[in-house]
Amino acid sequence: MDVQKEYSNGDLVVVWKPGLCFHAKECVHGLPDVFDPKQKPWIKAENAGIEDLKRTIDKCPSGALSYYSKSAANTEEPKQNAMNETKIEVLNNGPLMVKGEIEVIHTDGSTEKKTRNTAFCRCGKTGNIPYCDGSHKR
């Protein structure tokens, strides 16, 4: 399920991949006028400035939210923010967040590139091993 939805605010396009979202609600808490799960569409990018959108989207722990500039897309720049370094953050009562570009090697030998935020499960309750799906909240 590689569903991807896009919402525009002028030059900035907000990209949402629902299959990655584990509902940490960083977006809802950061910009409730933009991200409102009780509304359809639930993202109204026009309700905030571009810098506020970027700042909030950059806090998305699952990588379900990203953005790109329409003008940058015309110059063939990547759709997601490029991160220059990889950082690991241990979230209190939550996943292990790896921020930056990484390659995950699975137990079957397959590999997967992650280019933004990757949340790894620490509690063992996830249904999406090795990634966090928010099951720890239950």
pLDDT in tens, 38-87: 999 999 999 999 999 999 998 888 888 999 988 875 554 444 444 468 88
At 120, list the tokens. 């790894």
CATH C-level class of 5-74 = alpha beta
The neighbouring-strand residues paired with 119 are 97
More confident site: 128 or 43: 43
Q: In this structure, what is the dihedral angle of CA atoms 101, 105, 106, 107, given to the nearest 10 degrees? A: -160
Please give the share of the chain, as a percent, with pLDDT higher than 90: 41
The domain limits of the chain are 5-74, 87-137
